[in-house]
A and B are shown apart, each in its own frame.
Chain A
Amino acid sequence: MNCNVLIVDDSPILRKAIKKVVRLAGVEEDRIHEAGNGQEALEILETVWIDLVLLDLNMPVMDGEQFAQELRKREDLAGVAVVIVSTEANKERLDRLKALGIVNSLRKPFEPEDLCRLIAKTLGVKQ
Chain B
Amino acid sequence: MNTIISPDRLAELAMKALERTAFMMADPAEVSSASVAKATRRATIRYAGPASGLVTIRTTDDFLRSLASNLLGEEPDDIDLSTCGDDAIKELTNILGGSVIHELGGADNTFSLGLPQVVNASNAQVAIDRTCALDCEGHPLFITWDPDAVATKKVA
Q: Which residues of A come within 8 Å of B, CB atoms?
A: 10-14, 16-17, 20, 58-60, 86-93, 107-111
Contact at A58–B71, with CB atoms within 8 Å?
A: no
For B, the interface residue count at a CB cutoff of 8 angstroms equals 31
CB-CB nearest in chain A for B18: A109
Interface residues of B in 82-119 (CB under 8 A from A): 83-84, 87-88, 90-91, 94-95, 97-99, 101-102, 107-115
With a cutoff of 8 Å between Cβ atoms, the chain B residues found around residue A89 in the complex are 98, 101-102, 107, 109
Main SS at interface, chain B = helix
Q: Which of A14, A17, A88 contacts B113 (CB 8 A)?
A: A88
Contact at A13–B71, with CB atoms within 8 Å?
A: yes
Contact at A88–B101, with CB atoms within 8 Å?
A: yes
Contact at B91–A14, with CB atoms within 8 Å?
A: yes
Contact at B20–A87, with CB atoms within 8 Å?
A: no
CB-CB nearest in chain A for B68: A13
Contact at B88–A13, with CB atoms within 8 Å?
A: yes
Contact at A58–B21, with CB atoms within 8 Å?
A: no
With a cutoff of 8 Å between Cβ atoms, the chain A residues found around residue B84 in the complex are 13
With a cutoff of 8 Å between Cβ atoms, the chain B residues found around residue A92 in the complex are 110
Distance in Å: Cβ of A60 to nearest Cβ of chain B: 6
